[in-house]
Amino acid sequence: MDSLQTIKQRFGIIGNNIALNRALEKAMQVAPTEISVLVIGESGVGKEFIPKIIHNLSPKKHKQYIAVNCGAIPEGTIDSELFGHEKGAFTGADKMRKGYFEVADGGTIFLDEVGELPLQTQVRLLRVLESGEFMKVGSSNIQKTNVRIVAATNINLLDAIHKGKFREDLYYRLNTVQIDIPALRERKDDIPLLFRKFAIDFSEKYRMPSIHLSDEAMSHIQQYYWPGNIRQLRNFTEQVTVVETKRELSLDRVKEYLRDVPQTTSLINISGQNENKSDFSSEREILYKFLFDMKKDLNDLKALTLNLIKNKGDIGLTTNEKDLFQRIYKDHDISKTGESLVYYDEKSSVSTVTTVDNYHQDVDDYEYEDISSQSESLSLQKKEEELIRKALDKYNGKRKLAARELGISERTLYRKIKQYDIEE
Pair (82, 216) in one structural domain: no
Q: Cα separation of 96 and 98, whole Å?
A: 7
**Domain-located, residue 18:** yes
Phi and psi at 351, nearest 5°, equal -85, 130
Domain that holds residue 393: 379-420
Could you tell me the CA-to-CA distances from 309 to 160, 312, 316, 329, 335 in Å, in that order?
43, 5, 11, 16, 13
**Domain-located, residue 277:** no
| CATH number of domain containing 384 | 1.10.10
- Between CA 90 and CA 101, with CA 95 as vertex, the angle to 5 degrees is 85
Pair (34, 133) in one structural domain: yes
Pair (22, 147) in one structural domain: yes
Strand-pair category, 148-153 with 143-144: unpaired
Contact 119, 161 (CB under 8 A): no
| CATH number of domain containing 217 | 1.10.8.60
Pair (309, 393) in one structural domain: no
Domain end call among 182, 199, 221: 182
Domain end call among 209, 239, 258: 258
Segment holding 133, helix H or strand E: strand 133-134
**Domain-located, residue 264:** no
Pair (21, 155) in one structural domain: yes
Pair (21, 142) in one structural domain: yes
Domain end call among 242, 258, 274: 258
| Residue 184, amino acid | L
Pair (306, 398) in one structural domain: no
Contact 80, 97 (CB under 8 A): yes
Query: Taking the model in full, what pTM does it have?
Result: 0.62
Pair (123, 193) in one structural domain: no
Pair (65, 166) in one structural domain: yes
Contact 155, 40 (CB under 8 A): no
Nearest to 370 by CA among 306, 291, 302: 302
Q: Cα separation of 221 and 188, whole Å?
A: 9
Contact 48, 67 (CB under 8 A): yes
Q: Cα separation of 371 and 381, whole Å?
A: 19
What per-residue confidence (pLDDT) applies to 70? 95
- Count the domains in the chain: 4
Spell out the per-residue pLDDT of the chain, length 424, in tens: 679 999 999 999 999 999 999 999 999 999 999 999 999 999 999 999 999 999 999 999 999 999 999 999 998 899 999 999 999 888 888 899 999 999 999 999 999 999 999 999 999 999 999 999 999 999 999 999 999 999 999 999 999 999 999 999 999 999 999 999 999 999 999 999 999 999 999 999 999 999 999 999 999 999 999 999 999 999 999 999 999 999 999 999 999 999 754 444 333 343 344 444 344 444 555 565 556 666 666 666 666 666 665 554 555 556 666 666 565 555 444 444 444 444 444 444 444 444 444 434 443 443 434 444 444 444 567 778 888 888 888 888 888 888 888 878 888 888 888 888 887 6
What per-residue confidence (pLDDT) applies to 36? 94
Pair (335, 395) in one structural domain: no
List of residues 6+ apart from 422 with CB closer than 8 A: 385, 388, 389, 392, 416
**Domain-located, residue 117:** yes
**Domain-located, residue 268:** no
Could you tell me the CA-to-CA distances from 332 to 307, 335, 352 in Å, in that order?
17, 9, 18
**Domain-located, residue 263:** no
**Domain-located, residue 279:** no
Pair (15, 159) in one structural domain: yes
Could you tell me the CA-to-CA distances from 387 to 63, 142, 178 in Å, in that order?
44, 45, 32
**Domain-located, residue 330:** yes
Pair (143, 58) in one structural domain: yes
| Residue 228, amino acid | G
Share in percent of the chain as helix, strand, coil (round to 5): 50, 10, 40
